[in-house]
Structure 1
Amino acid sequence: MKAVSVKEIKTALSHHSQDELIKICLQLSKFKKENKELLTYLLFESENEELFIESVKKEIDEQFENVNTKTYYFIKKSVRKILKILKKYIRYSKQIETEVTLLIYFCQKLQSFNPSIQKNTVLLNIYNRELTTIKKKVLLLHEDLQYDYGLEIKKLETT
Structure 2
Amino acid sequence: MKIESIVTIKKELKHRSQDELLELCLRLGKFKKENKALLTYLLFESHDEDGYIASVKLSLDALFEGMNTDSYFYMKKTIRKILREIRVYSRYSLKKTTEIELLLYFCEQMNMLRPSIHKNTTLSNIYERQILSIKKKISVLHEDLQYDYNVQLDALSHEV
Percent of aligned pairs with the same amino acid:
53
Tell me the TM-score normalized by structure 2.
0.97
Equivalent position of 1:61 in the other structure:
61
Offset, 1:157: 2.1
Offset, 1:117: 0.5
- Give, in whole Å, the separation in 2 of the partners of 1:72 and 1:52: 31
Q: SS in structure 2 opposite 1:67?
A: coil
What are the residue-to-residue correspondences of 1:8-157 with 2, within 5 Å?
8-157=8-157
Query: Which 4+ runs in 1 deviate beyond 6 A?
Result: none
Offset, 1:2: 2.6
- Give, in whole Å, the separation in 2 of the partners of 1:94 and 1:104: 17
Read off the aligned partner of 2:54 and give its amino acid letter.
Answer: E
Tell me the TM-score normalized by structure 1.
0.97
Q: Give the number of equivalent residue pairs.
A: 159
Moved more, 2-11 or 81-90: 2-11
- Give, in whole Å, the separation in 1 of the partners of 2:14 and 2:140: 33
The one-character-per-residue Cα deviations of 1:70-99 (angstroms, maximum 9, x if unpaired) are 111110000000110111000001211111
- Give, in whole Å, the separation in 2 of the partners of 1:9 and 1:127: 40
The one-character-per-residue Cα deviations of 1:4-54 (angstroms, maximum 9, x if unpaired) are 111111111111111110000000001100000000000000000000000
CA contact (8 A) 2:86 2:99 kept: no
- Give, in whole Å, the separation in 1 of the partners of 2:31 and 2:101: 31
- Give, in whole Å, the separation in 2 of the partners of 1:105 and 1:2: 41
| Structure 1 alignment gaps of length 5 or more | none
Moved more, 5-14 or 31-40: 5-14
RMSD over aligned Cα atoms: 0.8
Moved more, 43-52 or 148-157: 148-157
- Give, in whole Å, the separation in 2 of the partners of 1:156 and 1:94: 25
Moved more, 39-48 or 93-102: 93-102
- Give, in whole Å, the separation in 1 of the partners of 2:13 and 2:133: 36
Read off the aligned partner of 1:60 and give its amino acid letter.
Answer: L
